[in-house]
């Protein structure tokens, strides 16, 4: 993840299909110098509502071929964390499938349709 000055940091991420947005600890946003673009109130897993600042951040995940600017919600976490929660605002870029036999998820990047020459 990086900010406008392109100072970047590798962070561990967790995909959460129940989360609506990408979320990080506010300390990470400040450390990276991310640019604040909005303020909102978020409802978290326990049902409480907390203030959140929305930042612009470049999210890069080479294994998924992903490198784009995203809106990232930052909250004041009780315990410092360097983890990123990737919610549905991130997953909207992919078609996701699950292979239960192998216990593996597969992510297919959405993009323009690929037209092949079927004439040989």
Q: Round to whole Å and give the CA distance between 115 and 120.
A: 13
Q: Tell me how far apart the terminal alpha carbons of the chain are, to the nearest angstrom.
A: 43
Distances (CA, A) of 111 to 12, 24, 37, 69, 96: 26, 27, 27, 16, 14
What average pLDDT does this structure show over 61-79? Answer: 92
3-state secondary structure of 33: coil
Domains of the chain with CATH codes:
13-92 (2.40.70.10)
Kindly state the average pLDDT of the residues 77-103. 92
% of the chain surpassing 70 pLDDT = 90
The residue-averaged pLDDT of 14-36 equals: 94
- 3-state DSSP assignment of residue 26: helix
Which tokens hold the place of 78? 């009780």
pTM, two decimals, is 0.81
């Amino acid at each position: 993840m990086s900010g406008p000055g392109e100072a970047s940091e590798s962070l561990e991420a967790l995909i959460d299909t129940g989360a609506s947005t990408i979320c990080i600890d506010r300390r990470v946003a400040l450390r990276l110098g991310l640019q604040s673009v909005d303020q909102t109130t978020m409802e978290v897993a326990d049902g409480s509502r907390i203030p959140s600042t929305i930042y612009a951040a470049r999210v890069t995940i080479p294994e998924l071929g992903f490198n784009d600017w995203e809106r990232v919600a930052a909250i004041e976490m009780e315990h410092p964390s360097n983890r990123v929660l990737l919610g549905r605002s991130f997953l909207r870029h992919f078609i996701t499938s699950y292979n239960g036999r192998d216990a593996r998820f597969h992510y297919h990047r959405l993009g323009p349709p690929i037209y092949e020459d079927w004439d040989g």
